[in-house]
Amino acid sequence: MAQSHVLLIHTGGTLGMAPTGDPTSLAPGPSLDRVLEEVPELRQLASLKLVVAFNRDSAGNEPEDILDLARLIRAQAATCDGVVLVHGTDTMAFTATLLGFLLADLGKPVVLTGSQRPLAYIRSDARSNLVDAVTLATKGIPEIGVCFGDHWYRGVATHKLSVHRYEAFESPNLPPLAELGLHVQVHPHAGRFDRNVPPGLGGAFESALAVYAPFPGMPWALPPDGTRGVLLEAYGAGNLPMGRPDLQALFAHCRARDIPLVISSQCPWGWVDLDTYELGALAVEAGAIGAGRQTRWAAIAKMGLVLGAGGSIAEVREALSTSWAGEPV
């Protein structure tokens, strides 16, 4: 059988990092130019073409970098059977979410991976993650997902949950797409989702979003001038201290300016249900939009994409109540 063609795009992250400085810390190394020498078994899996899009700690990525990546992948898609994207773990869930929306119709696998320890280190998880990611990229399953620690997760539902564990990611409200143990077990929902992404997104991303992580007693400051959207990472099912005058002032400020105010949960598992408690019902009355089962990344990505395309508060509301690319809502 002819070998699959896999495009390997490097963007940075721990996988390709090297120790530097005194005291020693990890910084981007000489990219992944030698990956095929260091992990020669990848050639047994596919014919690989390497592209270095950029090479940095993913904490330095901007949304525009990810919009560019989406364009690069779309432009190259006809030349390959699948794509592996090497990426830092810190913002991989955001990138996977944005790409999951922007490339929902690509029809080919895009597998994001990285590692907790650099490829050059002993006991690194880089080698197995790379091998697993390339394996998945040859399978023809049209999904944009994160392959990490023996699992493949749908990107638009993914969250980084551990700083240290090799099982660093999960999609808390959606079972994994595949498990890579002795066998590669692909689950039936992989590649099966309705594509409802509105047309015309991805030209620009609106980053003027204010995100609040409440704690009891937190003063509720108004968002900075120029804010276009607000995300409140509420307690549990979406509860907030709605009796607080400063929080009421924040809601009134957003209502008066048509600024969408979205409520997600501080809990990764479970979902926002603004009907459960009186406080949730008061938030709805005050204009809040519940994020349901969507991660903070999906809520931020939808606001950024819709507002970036000039969309209205009604379109943000519609976006948060519709599954665009298989994310549970």
In the complex, the residues that contact ligand ASP under the rule CB under 6 A are 12-14, 57-59, 88-90, 114, 116
- CA neighbor of 328 nearest in space, from 299, 293, 302: 293
Q: How far is it, in rounded angstroms, from Cα 248 to Cα 243? A: 7
Shortest Cβ distance from residue 55 to ligand ASP (Å)?
10
* Single-letter amino acid, residue 293: R
Q: How far is it, in rounded angstroms, from Cα 253 to Cα 88? A: 37
- Comparison of 116 and 171: residue with beta carbon closer to ligand ASP: 116
* Single-letter amino acid, residue 131: V
Shortest Cβ distance from residue 303 to ligand ASP (Å)?
23
Tokens of 192: 């099966």
- Comparison of 31 and 47: residue with beta carbon closer to ligand ASP: 31
- Comparison of 54 and 235: residue with beta carbon closer to ligand ASP: 54
Shortest Cβ distance from residue 1 to ligand ASP (Å)?
34
DSSP H helices in the chain: 35-38, 42-45, 63-76, 92-102, 126-137, 245-257, 278-285, 296-308, 313-320
Q: How far is it, in rounded angstroms, from Cα 166 to Cα 144? A: 20
Q: How many CB atoms lie within 10 A of CB 109?
A: 28
Shortest Cβ distance from residue 59 to ligand ASP (Å)?
6
Shortest Cβ distance from residue 52 to ligand ASP (Å)?
15
- Comparison of 63 and 114: residue with beta carbon closer to ligand ASP: 114
- Comparison of 69 and 141: residue with beta carbon closer to ligand ASP: 69
- Comparison of 165 and 195: residue with beta carbon closer to ligand ASP: 165
Q: Measured between alpha carbons, how far is residue 228 from residues 17, 65, 225, 276 in Å?
A: 36, 21, 9, 28
Q: Which residue has its beta carbon closest to ligand ASP?
A: 88
Shortest Cβ distance from residue 88 to ligand ASP (Å)?
2
